[in-house]
Amino acid sequence: MCKNICISLILLLVLFFGCEKNSVNPDGEFFTVEGKVLNSAGPVENATVKIDNALNWTTKTSSDGSFTIKDVTKGSHELSIKQQSDNGQFSIRNENIEVNKDLLLEALLLPKPVHLEEAVIDQELTVNKINLVWTRSTASDFREYKIYKHTTSGLDETTGELIHVATTALDTSFVDSMSHSSRFFYRVFVLNEYGQIGGSNIIEVKTGEFENNPEITLSEIKIGYLNKNEELWFFFQAQKGEFYKIAWYDGDLFGYTANSIEVACYHNDQETLYFPGGRLIQMNGAPKIIMADATGYVFLKITGYGTATGGTSDIEGTFGIKVDLLDKNEATVIEIGIEQTVSISAGEMKLLYFNSVADTNYTFSLQTSSQGGAYDDQISVLVSAYRENVNFTYFYDEIAGMIEFPSEDLEITAVATEKIYLIATGAYWWNPTILTIKIQKK
pLDDT tens per residue across span 409-422:
999 999 999 999 99
Same domain, 97 and 137: no
Number of domains present in the structure of the chain? 4
Q: Assess contact for 328 and 243: CB atoms under 8 A.
A: yes
Same domain, 379 and 362: yes
Amino acid at 103: L
Domain enclosing residue 287, as ranges: 222-326
Same domain, 256 and 353: no
Q: Is the pLDDT of residue 255 over 90?
A: no
Q: Is the pLDDT of residue 19 over 80?
A: no
Same domain, 136 and 184: yes
Q: For 266-286, what is the mean pLDDT?
A: 89
Residue 362: alpha-carbon gap to chain centroid: 54
Q: What is the CATH number of the domain that holds 129?
A: 2.60.40.10
Q: Is the pLDDT of residue 375 over 80?
A: no
Q: For 307-319, what is the mean pLDDT?
A: 74
Q: Is residue 7 part of a domain?
A: no
pLDDT band at 309 (very low <50, low <70, confident <90, very high): low
**Domain end marker among 326, 345, 373:** 326
Q: Is residue 10 part of a domain?
A: no
Burial of 115 (0-12, 13-18, 19+ CB in 10 A): middle
Q: Which of 433, 426, 435 is nearest to 378 (CA)?
A: 433
pLDDT band at 147 (very low <50, low <70, confident <90, very high): very high
**Domain end marker among 326, 342, 367:** 326
Instruction: Give the C-alpha separation, 150 to 154, whole Å.
Output: 8
Q: Is the pLDDT of residue 17 over 80?
A: no
Q: Is the pLDDT of residue 10 over 50?
A: no
Cβ within 8 Å of residue 276, ≥6 positions away: 264, 308
pLDDT band at 377 (very low <50, low <70, confident <90, very high): confident
Q: Is residue 165 part of a domain?
A: yes
Give the gyration radius of the chain's Cα atoms. 40
Amino acid at 53: N
- Looking at the chain, the number of H-run helices and the number of E-run strands are 1, 33
DSSP alpha helices (H): ranges in 25-96?
A: none
Q: Which of 68, 201, 60, 215 is nearest to 135 (CA)?
A: 201
Sign of CA dihedral 253, 254, 258, 262: negative
Query: What is the average pLDDT score of the chain?
Result: 91
User: What pairs with residue 271 in β-bridges?
Assistant: none
Instruction: Give the C-alpha separation, 200 to 240, whole Å.
Output: 61
Q: For 187-194, what is the mean pLDDT?
A: 96
Q: Which helix (H) or strand (E) holds 23?
A: helix 2-24
When mean pLDDT is compared across 20-34, 79-93, 359-373, 421-435, the lowest value belongs to: 20-34
Q: Which helix (H) or strand (E) holds 438?
A: strand 433-441
Q: Assess contact for 116 and 203: CB atoms under 8 A.
A: yes
User: What pairs with residue 246 in β-bridges?
Assistant: 288, 323
pTM for the predicted model, two decimal places: 0.70
Q: What is the CATH number of the domain that holds 306?
A: 2.60.120.680
Q: Is residue 11 part of a domain?
A: no
Q: Which helix (H) or strand (E) holds 73?
A: strand 66-73
Instruction: Give the C-alpha separation, 409 to 400, whole Å.
Output: 10
Same domain, 199 and 256: no
Q: Is the pLDDT of residue 217 over 70?
A: yes
Q: For 186-195, what is the mean pLDDT?
A: 96
Q: Is the pLDDT of residue 130 over 60?
A: yes
Q: Is the pLDDT of residue 8 over 60?
A: no
